[in-house]
Amino acid sequence: MNMRRSSTRVGVVLASAVLATIGLVSTASAGAPKGVELGTSDTGAFSTAAAVTGLRGVSSYEGTGVPADVTAYGAQRVPAGHKVQGYESPTGDDFGTQSIIGADNRVRVDPTTSFPARATVLITRTVNGVERQHCTGWMFGASLVLTAGHCVYNQTTGWYTGQLRFYPGANGTSFPYGSCTAATLRSNTGWTTDGSADADYGGATLNCSIGNTTGWYGAYWTTASLNGTSTTVQGYPGDKAQQQWTHSDQVRESSSLRLYYDNDTVGGNSGSSVHTVRASGSSGCSGRCSLAFHAYGVGSNGHNSGPRITESRFNLVIGWR
């Protein structure tokens, strides 16, 4: 599959004002529906007066393996023969279609019971009684999944409240960690109000604590260029029937709010962690350390891309834990 679509957003043009506040805290927005929580927009440039060139973050946690009983963590068992239908674009129009760049060099992850495969989450969406493959997410705490903003909020129809289900470590028709639903969907007003591709990230607080056994990804932010940093995108491409696939590359271009890379992805990979591997004991973050939220396919510069984890975004998602 060779798809090359522009990731240019359609909608409100990003305001260029620099935000004064950087320590964003997740707060319920006035008028937001029940089960939804918004952070403040952070689509300005870096807002610190003096750039911080150090690296700040949290390390990954590898979890404990496959539990004897997923219900002990509040997850639901998935009955044998459970069927998830094929991928359907979150927006219905393949907005932000992801891209294979050159040869398709993706590799299947099988089994999915080791880390980080078990902390990588298949997200499905049910409409009119039909459950379909929707997006990818990644555990970032015992009950928190992070993903792309367009996986939880549609610019036309609004929040996907009550429609999403989360399967950590899904492997085709096997679901070793069961499934959970969302207690709270999360995003930021840069996405939900402004429609900015640079702010296309979100998450969900689950009604289970399955992350205690699957483990979770780490994450970090830095204002320094990340060009040349190794990247892995691991998730559930829509052309692979709920199988988990991975591909490695490197950061090709860094901007203050977005990272660009040539990892092969297709629809369904939206929301995947764009992560790098850092040695045990590394400052700021060790293990599987997320740099960005994968969200878009090839744009005018020829690369796939996703919103970069900045200081304010890091603070926001830590608050979601």
Tokens of 30: 């006035």
Q: Tell me the C-alpha to C-alpha distance, in Å, between residue 168 and each of 136, 178, 217, 243, 263.
A: 10, 7, 13, 12, 22
Contact 183, 35 (CB under 8 A): yes
Tokens of 294: 């994968």
Element at 311 (helix H, strand E) = helix 311-320
Q: Which amino acid is at 91?
A: T
What are the E-state strand segments in 15-147? 36-39, 56-58, 107-108, 120-127, 130-139, 144-147
Beta strands in the chain (DSSP E): 36-39, 56-58, 107-108, 120-127, 130-139, 144-147, 153-154, 158-159, 164-168, 180-188, 202-206, 218-221, 230-235, 245-254, 258-261, 273-278, 287-293, 304-307
Give the active site residue among 134, 150, 275, 303: 150
Residue 213: strand, helix, or coil? helix
Of 7, 89, 187, 270, which is the active-site residue?
Answer: 270
Annotation says 150 is catalytic: yes
User: What are phi and psi for residue 174, nearest 5 degrees?
Assistant: -110, 135
**Dihedral angle, C-alpha 136, 57, 59, 151, nearest 10 °:** -10
Cβ–Cβ < 8 Å for 36, 196: no
- Specify whether 143 is catalytic: no
Beta bridge partners of 136: 122
Distance (Å, rounded) from C-alpha 235 to C-alpha 238? 10
The residues carrying an active-site annotation are 150, 270
